[in-house]
Structure 1
Amino acid sequence: MKKTMKLFTVLSFFILIITACSTKEKEEEALDMEQVKIEIQALEDAYAAGEKAKDAAAVANYYSENAVSYSRNKEPIKGKAAIQESIAMSIASDTTGTYNVYKIVDLFAEGDTAIEVGSWTEFDTDGNELQNGNYMSYFEKRDGKYVCVRDMSTTTTPVKSDM
């Protein structure tokens, strides 16, 4: 009886492991990376359109309520309302008419999360490139759509020195 119980326990353990592994494989297979890419790029395009239209609320729709944004040359901005306020101040002080384009470079997704590595390019009103850089955004799918929970950006443009 003890041998049968041990055998049953070992077999049960292996069945549990195999089932857990095959479930994870099915979840990963079910994720359509092309669709995720389309959804994330649509968020980036809407962000850029909001900036161009000088609509801080439209830009802030990119973010979750508890998002944290790590922007260039600023302290981290915590919460969607604070991020929107920061965007509104930037928009209000902008008189250049420049606009940005955001593009996915790499995308990693699993379950309800995605991490995007992207590039941004700033253009003047004539379409000439002014500067560019990179960003990273972490998304969670909430209520059926992705929202940015954390983002960070850098510039590849060298800092001008007074030396």
Structure 2
Amino acid sequence: MIKNIKLFGFLIFTAFVFTACDFVFTAGETLEKEEVLDMEKVKIEIQAMEDAFAAGEKAKDADAVAAYYSDDAMSYSRNREPLSGKKAIRDNIANGIAKDTTGNYNVYKIVDLYAEGDTAVEIGSWTEFDASGNEKDNGNYMSFFQKRDGTYICVRDMSTTTSPVKSGI
């Protein structure tokens, strides 16, 4: 009888060990099976945002342009202090639109895109064209996106120009 109890105890212990090992292995597999981002889908979504931004600029619609940004966004543009918050960014866009009489427009293009989890970083190029389609200026930008409520939104951006800096000297 004692042999049977010992054997039964050994079998229970062995079953427990194998069950625990299987649980650890299964948990490890689950951790490794994180959602794989479809980078082509992310690229299409981000490029659509860039296209909407450009369309808003061309239509002189500051609200459409500002839709690109989160409420807590920061924008770092060339030759000016950073803008903090969607309202400040929108007001700056509206001011620029109100002063623009050139008919120039911009085109934005993704150059590199890095995404992981709920964040993405885009490095892009922009080109400014006049109303006749002649290139006037160009440069680069970087935008940092967070996925909020299932959609990417820009929380930080900065841009540069390839034009030489004009100095007063």
Q: Is the 8 A contact 1:33 1:109 kept in 2?
A: yes
CA RMSD of aligned residues (A): 2.0
Which deviations, in whole Å up to 9, do the C-alpha atoms of 1:72-120 show, x marking residues without a partner? 1110000001100000000001111100000000000011100000000
- Report the residue type matching 2:107 in the other structure: V
Which deviations, in whole Å up to 9, do the C-alpha atoms of 1:39-88 show, x marking residues without a partner? 00000000000000000000000000000000111100000011000000
| Residues in 1 aligned to 2:159 and 2:65: alpha-carbon distance in whole angstroms | 15
1:58-69 to 2 correspondences below 5 Å = 58-69=64-75
Verify: 1:159 aligned to 2:162, yes or no: no
Verify: 1:79 aligned to 2:98, yes or no: no
Q: Pick from 116, 120, 124 the counterpart of residue 118 of structure 1.
A: 124
1:83-162 to 2 correspondences below 5 Å = 83-161=89-167
1:33-72 to 2 correspondences below 5 Å = 33-72=39-78
The equivalent of 2:3 in structure 1 is: none
Verify: 1:27 aligned to 2:34, yes or no: yes
SS of the equivalent of 2:33 reads helix
How far 1:138 sits from its partner (Å)? 0.2
CA distance 1:160–1:110, shift in 2 (3 Å): same
TM score, norm. by length of structure 2:
0.82
> Which protein is bigger by CA-based radius of gyration?
2
TM score, norm. by length of structure 1:
0.85
| Residues in 1 aligned to 2:83 and 2:49: alpha-carbon distance in whole angstroms | 20
Structure 1's unaligned 5+ residue stretches are none
Q: Percent identity?
A: 70
- Report the residue type matching 1:74 in the other structure: R
CA distance 1:150–1:24, shift in 2 (3 Å): farther
